[in-house]
């Protein structure tokens, strides 16, 4: 995956994509469930393909 092909998603974008509140993503991160997120400075960011892969694994 080329990072330049897909921008990193912020928490609001992932929450909208998954249809969950942003707080759910933080809770999932704390519990070690949910898609893999990466801290960039103080910000939490997601690779879109990681989120899509996580969704596929849930079914």
Burial pattern 17-35, b for ≥16 Cβ within 10 A else e, equals ebeeeeeebeebbeeeebb
Low pLDDT (below 70) residues in the chain: 1-6
Q: What is the pLDDT of residue 5?
A: 53
Q: What is the pLDDT of residues 18-34, one digit of tens each?
A: 999 999 999 999 999 99
Tokens 């070690």 -> residue:
32
């Amino acid at each position: 995956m080329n990072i330049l092909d897909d921008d990193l998603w912020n928490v609001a974008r992932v929450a909208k994509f998954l249809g969950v509140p942003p707080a759910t993503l933080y809770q999932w991160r704390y519990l070690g469930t949910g898609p893999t997120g990466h801290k960039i400075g103080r910000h939490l960011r997601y690779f879109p393909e990681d989120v899509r892969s996580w969704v596929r694994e849930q079914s």
